[in-house]
Amino acid sequence: MSADAAPAALAATGAGLDGPSPGEILLFLFTRRDGMSEEQFREHYLGVHAPMSVAHSTATGRYVVRLVEGGHGSLPLPVDAITEIHTASVDAFVDPEQGWDSAENWKLVIDDAASFLAGFHMYRVSREVLVPAAGAAEPTTVRARTPGVVLAQIFLDGAAAQDATDEAAGPAAIPGTVRYRVLGTLSPDAPPVHAVDLVTLPDATAARYRSHAYVLGEYVQQP
């Protein structure tokens, strides 16, 4: 979907969350504009867009930006960010009158998104822990990069679909793996994603999976 045609939902998050989330969860797949470098994308998203969204959205709870590091390779979709947002109500979140401090500020966020995104896909998801993590998660400093890397696998419907559990040695077998199962697709022309799996690992451990998983840095914008 083109960012120039972004609906209200775009303006508006983590694998490390231990308990169930109240309300609803949205997962966004973002792609940067052509000609924008990975570093420019990171700086604008974290330095401009995310703070603007936090400042003006009244319906955003937990908000986590996960940025793909080192390109997408030959993975199923061209993705530069996988963003997770928790909200009490998706209907309120996508409504500039209910989910934002003003319609004018909602438009500012939408216009900014169109300035650096080539497109996005939005899904309403459930969240389930496939393999419990060993020990409690370390506290995360808001807006700083979470230690380690997050591996992500995106599973498509139809002929291209695969189930993470088919890979006995894959990320789905690692303690702390969380599955986001798609309950509804909320943007037109979105790829037929049925699940996204995320797991946080130390950098050295993650190296063995780089050939078949997105490697992301995690930045918690709002816990």
Residue in 186, 181, 161, 177 with CA at minimum distance from that of residue 209 = 177
Residue in 39, 136, 141, 28 with CA at minimum distance from that of residue 83 = 28
User: Helical H runs in the chain?
Assistant: 38-44, 50-56, 90-93, 103-116, 203-206
Tens digits of per-residue pLDDT, 133-176? 766 555 567 788 988 889 898 999 864 444 444 444 555 567 78
Do the Cβ atoms of 122 and 187 come closer than 8 Å? yes
- Mean pLDDT lowest for which of 99-103, 110-114, 168-172, 175-179? 168-172
Q: 133 in the Ramachandran plot: left (φ > 0), alpha (ψ -120 to 50) or beta? A: beta
DSSP code at position 3: G
Collapsed DSSP state (helix, strand, coil) of residue 110? helix
Give pLDDT, residue 30. 95
Q: In terms of pLDDT, which residue wins out, 90 or 159?
A: 90
Tens digits of per-residue pLDDT, 21-40? 568 999 999 999 999 999 99
Residue in 180, 120, 177 with CA at minimum distance from that of residue 154 = 180
Most confident of 72-76, 111-115, 117-121: 111-115
Q: Which domains does the chain have, with CATH numbers?
A: 3-222 (3.30.70.100)
Give pLDDT, residue 45. 97
C-alpha–C-alpha distance, residues 86 and 21, integer Å: 7
Q: Which band of pLDDT confidence, cut at 50, 70 and 90, is reported for residue 207? A: low
What is the model's pTM? Answer: 0.83
